[in-house]
Structure 1
Amino acid sequence: MNVEIKKKDLLEKEIIITLSNEEIENEKNKKISELLKSITIKGFRKGHITQDVLINKFGEKITNDSLKELINKIFIELINKNNFKIINLPIFQISKINENTKVVINFEILPEIKLNIDNIKIIEYISEIKDEEIADEIEKLKIINGKWEETNLPINFGDLITLDIFSLENEQETPLLINNDVFLHEEFVFFDGFINIIKNYSTGMDISINIKDIKIFDKIFYNKNLIKIYIKKIMRSKKIETEIELKEKLYIKEDIIEKIKDKLEKISKNVTKKLLKVSIINKLLENNTFEIPKYLMTESLNDYEKKEMKVDKIEIEKNIKLELLLNEIKIKFNINVLHDEIQKVLDTFYKNVKNNKDDLYKKIENNLLEEKIFNLILNKANKMTKKITYKDLKKLEIENVHKY
């Protein structure tokens, strides 16, 4: 037997095994000996069948099976010896060359990842809730909880608009979103100037927009080029005038300023946590460079296309790298999630859920595992704090959190 291991690419391997007829015949004879003791054939007692009868009935199958078993045995030994972590289904090609049998096996392996997660520099954003931000939030609540009336005036900030969105492909209109309500609130301003495009339009008017001009639409309708937005209805709020009226409307008994401040602080903490996670992910990807298997990239691209999701190869590559990194950290630091931990989440938040329990269990397990990994990295990180306004914090969330 002769074995040759070739490196076709950084992660692509090719093993060439050359077997002599004698080696194959020996393996076949072993198989025959085993079968003579164990096989049962009509007309013969177990263990009393003759070799001639066995070969006559099953000769070709025995030859093929013994060859496959020999190849698999050699292949597994080589994989273990070389510590190859195979990522895809190996491709076997068997051919006869003179008196020998040549076996060519192609496969791809996982990359060797040399983890670098110590002393990662990350920024923790601390939001200071200012009086004017509390006032803005109260104003927004006054609008939302006011009396809504339809208007024919041009669109303005704070309006609730109902849109139909069509794609314009080959001069044909295809519905994408019908009767879609959009509240033009503070955070909507960050969506690449969409409000500036539509603010002078009125009910009954339509706007044709190139998808590339608005990133948020480019992500939603990635496979479209041109869309038409038809404005069906504009609702404008006759806002509540006083804080006393607002408190009555919302059934708030305590001080409304403290109530809003508490709400914004909770949101702020949640956003800070999300941004920390994004910061950790970015640094992980930056500090750990390695090749990703072509197989994983191909599988991901196919999956995205099947789901008609936007195909961004750079983002897909990042997601694959992140998944490989998190798995490597999990293995290296022996991070696991216990059944009791998952059950606690199920009992607390999903007590009444009856369907898709297995999927939910797996999702909770993955979330808890991810949280443990990020906490591990956070404890090792070189963390710096930076104070910013609540508004800027929310802007950072919109710009960054959707990426992962």
Structure 2
Amino acid sequence: MQVSIESSTGLERQLKIGVPADRIEQEVTARLQKATKTVSIKGFRKGKVPLKVVKQHYGKGVRQEVVGEVVNSSFYEAIQQQELRPVGQPKIDQMTDKEGQDLEFMAIFEVFPEVVLKDLSKVKVARPVADVTATDIKKMIEVLRNQQASFKVSKKKAKEGDQVNIDFVGTKDGEEFAGGKAEGQDLILGSNSMIAGFESGLEGLVAGEETVLNLTFPEDYQAEDLKGAAVEFAVKVNTVSGKKMPKMDDEFFKLFGVEDGGEEKFREEVKSNMERELLNAIRTKVKNRVMNQLFELNTIELPTALVANEITQLKQQMVQQFGGGQQIDLSMLPDDMFKEKAERRAALGVIVSEVVKVEELTPDEDRVRERINEIASTYEQPKEVVDYYYSKPELLSSVEAVVLEDQVTELVLSKAKVKEEKLPYDEVIKPDPESGVEA
């Protein structure tokens, strides 16, 4: 087999590959010879069909099959010979395939970039530190009580925290706009479910009253035609319902799995859950900050195929997140909408892989099993789920990748400059500002 690099620009490679005719012809003949024992052709007994006749009937199809397989196998032989790491599948071009002549074709593809990692000691990470205080617990209990609150119709004026049932019609320049109309919609005042000024504009109204709200949509609103637009909402209040908070009694505690022990036990459970949530939030923040630092320190050229793959995955995630189905055409979602995030994800994938290679890291088997058990614990038959994960290489690999990211994070932290950052519970629980990096 002959292999030569015809062109090399950036990350693109063009390999000219030549395969001796004998390799093709021998395989075609071998398959046709095997077929003589099984094919049925009119005028011949089964198993007694001459090779020449079998070739006349099936030779073209068998040759196409063999050539396809040889193109694939010879490409992978060639990249091993040239020590290249391709991204995705190659484009096969300029193929010459004539019986009795050598097979020649051009394979065009991109390769992974060469990465020279920056010194990990240059990484600087702020590690959040926080405690769950009595005040935090009190706030959380109020949140839980609000979640279980009921509403009772009232004749009083609407105030923040009340639930109103409303009909409304929104207009822009005197014309109704898409999504600006509803009837019988429940809305909790102060929930910030609507644009600024809508909910506060209903405070002080009673059932049966109508009002007109002159408002402005925010500049970053998702609908292009409504960004920064001045609009009017004609609103009718159908009912006003006051909030009735649940009592702190055994019935309330049972809603959260506390069967006995009263309020003391309930507060202990709330604190325990908050501490667990805090620990997870700290781990997530630190991991994301480490990944962000790796991205900022290591500038690399990215294969377009790698970015395109990330864009496709992000589109699929968006469709799933919003409950979309097969009817949604991913190509209708613009690539530019996902490009920046896709580039960061692709870059981090390459950088993390390089850290794993350089530091000779392998997935910690105990951690992998622990993570799978954690996932399985949310199902009715956890053992079956565990067995399923270990029987599916692609699922197991996805868990191993997450575990490896954790190990990379720990490795970086062991060499980085880490500064503790004392913060209140609420601040730590909130996600960091959107960075486009997902760990």
Aligned to 1:111: 113
Could you tell me which of 327, 340, 345 is aligned with 1:314? 340
1:5-404 matches, cutoff 5 A: 5-7=5-7, 9-17=9-17, 23-24=20-21, 26-27=22-23, 29-31=25-27, 34=30, 38-40=34-36, 43=44, 49=50, 53=53, 56-58=56-58, 60-61=60-61, 64=64, 68=68, 71-95=71-95, 103-115=105-117, 118-119=120-121, 120-130=123-133, 132-137=135-140, 140=143, 148-150=151-153, 153=157, 156=160, 158-159=161-162, 171-174=176-179, 179=185, 184=190, 198-202=199-203, 210=217, 212-213=219-220, 218=222, 235-237=241-243, 246=248, 250-251=252-253, 252-254=262-264, 264-302=274-312, 304-305=314-315, 311-327=337-353, 332-335=360-363, 337=365, 341=370, 344-345=373-374, 348-352=377-381, 366-367=398-399, 369-381=401-413, 382=416, 383-394=418-429, 396-397=430-431, 399-400=433-434, 404=438
Change in 2 beyond 3 A, CA 1:255/1:325:
same
Q: Distance in 2 between matches of 1:165 and 1:403?
A: 40
In the alignment, is the contact (CA less than 8 A) between 2:131 and 2:424 conserved in 1?
yes
Q: Given the two structures, how large is their TM-score scaled by the length of structure 1? A: 0.68
Q: What is the distance in 2 between the residues matched to 1:91 and 1:49?
A: 38
Shift in alpha-carbon separation, 1:80–1:164, aligned structure 2, 3 A: farther
How far did 1:299 drift? Answer: 3.8
Give distance in 2, aligned partners of 1:38 and 1:236: 83
Q: Structure 1 residue 109: deviation in Å? A: 2.8
Q: What CA distance in whole angstroms lies between the structure 1 residues aligned with 2:28 and 2:135?
A: 87
User: How big is the alpha-carbon RMSD for the aligned residues of Structure 1 and Structure 2?
Assistant: 5.2
> What are the superposed Cα offsets for residues 158-184 of structure 1, whole Å, 9 maximum, x if unpaired?
455678999999954348999576684
Which fold has the larger relative contact order, with Cα–Cα distance below 8 Å and residues 6 or more apart in sequence?
A: 1
Contact 1:129–1:261, Cα closer than 8 Å, also in 2: yes
Contact 2:91 2:108 in 1 (8 A): yes
* In 1, Cα distance between equivalents of 2:249 and 2:407: 40
CA contact (8 A) 1:93 1:103 kept: yes
Alignment partners' CA distance in 2, 1:288 and 1:315: 16
SS of match in other structure, 2:405: helix
The structure-2 alpha-carbon separation of the partners of 1:298 and 1:145, relative to structure 1 and needing over 3 Å to count, comes to closer
Post-superposition CA distance 1:106-154 (Å, at most 9, x none):
2223334445584443222112445554554455566566663456645
Alpha-carbon offset, residue 388 of structure 1: 1.1
- When structure 1 is superposed on structure 2, of 1-10 and 350-359 the one drifting more is 350-359
Q: Does structure 1 conserve the Cα–Cα contact (< 8 Å) formed by 2:14 and 2:108?
A: yes
Kindly provide the amino acid, as one letter, of the partner of residue 316 in structure 1: A
